[in-house]
Amino acid sequence: MTEVAVITGASAGIGRATAREFARRGCSIALLARGLEGLEAAAREVEELGGRALVIPTDVADADALERAADQAVKQFGRIDVWVNNAFAGIFSRFMDMSLEEFRRVTDVTFMGQVHGTRAALKHMLSRDSGSIVLVGSALAYRGIPLQSAYCASKHAVQGFLDSLRVELLAQESRVRLAMVQLPGVNTPQFDWIRAHTRGKPKPVGAVYQPEVAARAIWKAAHSSRKEWIVGAPAYQAILGDKLMSPILDRYLARDGIEAQQDAERVRPDRKDNLFEPVPGDHGAHGRFDERARTRSPLLWLSEHRALLAGGAALAAGAAAVLARRKPAKGERD
C-alpha cells in the first residue's frame, strides 16, 4: 500500500529534501508551504522520482488552514500515514533589537506551526489508531545561543510539547507514534532569506550538513518507535555540553557566539526576507555552503544501527569471556 505523507515547509531546504526522500520510496505527498513556485517545483521533483504530489499553499501559523490542508490530503489520497512538521521562521537579532511582532511571528510558525500540524494530523490518525508524526527540532532545543532567542525558545517549547503529548498517547495506548529529530546546522537557503538585524550576513556555526542528511533522519524517525533522533556531532556536542557545563558555555558563547554567526559580507539594506511573506522564486534544497557541507553523518549511521552494534559488542564480550576461561593457568603452562 502506498504511504501517504504530509510535509510542511516543503518548498525549500530540509522540507524539499525530505519530499524527495519520501518520493524515492514511492510515497504520495501533500506539499505544504507559502511559496507557490517552490511548491510546484517540489511537486515536479516528487513525480519525477515516482511519487504523487499534491500542492497546498499554506501558512502553518494558521491552524484552520492546516486543518483544511489535512482534510484535502485525506480527500485526495485517502488517509495520512506520516506528518512531518518541518516549517519554521527565524530572525538573527539581539533580543532588544527585534520587535515583539517579529518575535511572535517566529514562535507562531516554529512552535505553534508544529502544534497546529500535530493537531491536524491527530484528528485523522487517532480515529484510525495509526500514523506517525515527526517534529523537526534542533540542538538548539536544548542549548540556546545568542541572536536566535525566538528560534531557540520555539525549539525548546517543541521539546516540552513532545514530552507531554507522547506521554498522553502512551497513556491511552495509542499506536500513533510521535518522534523528534534534533538537527545541527544544515546547508539550506534559510541563511540568505532569514530576517537579520546584524551587521554581517547570517551563517551557521561549526560543521554543516547537507539537507539530504536531515531528510534521511526524518524518514528514519517516521518509521521507528524511537522518541528522538540526533543528527551530527555538533548536535551531540551542544546537547551534552549544555548538560555538563552550561554556565561555561554561556561565557564561551558570550565571547564568540555573536560574531561566529555572521559572515564578513555585510547585510544589504534591500535584502529580502521571508519572515512575514515568502521570498519569490524556487530556492531549492541547498544553500550557499555546499563546499563545506557534509554529505553524511557517521553518528546517524551508528544511531540507525545501534541494535546491531550492541549485538556485536555482546558477541565480542561473550567470545572474550570464553577465551578467558579457556586460557590455561600459569601452573598449567609451566
What DSSP state is assigned to residue 182?
E
The answer to whether 131 touches 83, Cβ cutoff 8 Å, is: yes
Alpha-carbon distance of 93 to 108, in angstroms, equals 17
Could you tell me the pTM of the whole model? 0.88
Per-residue pLDDT at 334: 44
Alpha-carbon distance of 4 to 326, in angstroms, equals 56
Look up residue 45 and give its three cell numbers.
521533483
Alpha-carbon distance of 187 to 286, in angstroms, equals 6
What DSSP state is assigned to residue 273?
-
CA proximity to 184, closest of 146, 151, 219, 211: 211
The answer to whether 288 touches 263, Cβ cutoff 8 Å, is: no
φ, ψ for residue 113, nearest 5 deg? -60, -40
Domain made up of 4-296: CATH architecture: 3-Layer(aba) Sandwich (3.40)
φ, ψ for residue 83, nearest 5 deg? -125, 125
Let me know if 142 is a catalytic residue.
no
The answer to whether 53 touches 46, Cβ cutoff 8 Å, is: yes
The answer to whether 94 touches 146, Cβ cutoff 8 Å, is: yes
Neighbours of 53 (CB within 10 A): 22
CA proximity to 187, closest of 273, 89, 285: 285
pLDDT tens-place values along the chain, 334 residues long: 899 999 999 999 999 999 999 999 999 999 999 999 999 999 999 999 999 999 999 999 999 999 999 999 999 999 999 999 999 999 999 999 999 999 999 999 999 999 999 999 999 999 999 999 999 999 999 999 999 999 999 999 999 999 999 999 999 999 999 999 999 999 999 999 999 999 999 999 888 999 999 999 999 999 999 999 999 888 888 899 988 999 999 999 999 999 999 999 999 988 999 999 999 999 999 999 988 899 877 766 566 655 555 455 546 555 555 565 665 555 554 4
In one letter, which amino acid is 179? A
Reported as a single tens digit per residue, the pLDDT across 216-252 is 999 999 999 999 999 988 888 889 998 899 999 999 9
- Residue ranges of the domains in the chain? 4-296
3-state secondary structure of 302: helix
Alpha-carbon distance of 66 to 96, in angstroms, equals 32
CA proximity to 93, closest of 267, 249, 255: 267
The answer to whether 32 touches 42, Cβ cutoff 8 Å, is: no
3-state secondary structure of 231: coil
Per-residue pLDDT at 312: 56
φ, ψ for residue 9, nearest 5 deg? 65, 35
Per-residue pLDDT at 298: 72
Per-residue pLDDT at 329: 52
Look up residue 99 and give its three cell numbers.
520587535
Per-residue pLDDT at 157: 98
Active site residue: 142, 151, 209, 252, which one? 151
In one letter, which amino acid is 327? K
Per-residue pLDDT at 205: 86
Alpha-carbon distance of 27 to 187, in angstroms, equals 25
The answer to whether 137 touches 214, Cβ cutoff 8 Å, is: no
The answer to whether 82 touches 222, Cβ cutoff 8 Å, is: yes
Alpha-carbon distance of 3 to 77, in angstroms, equals 9
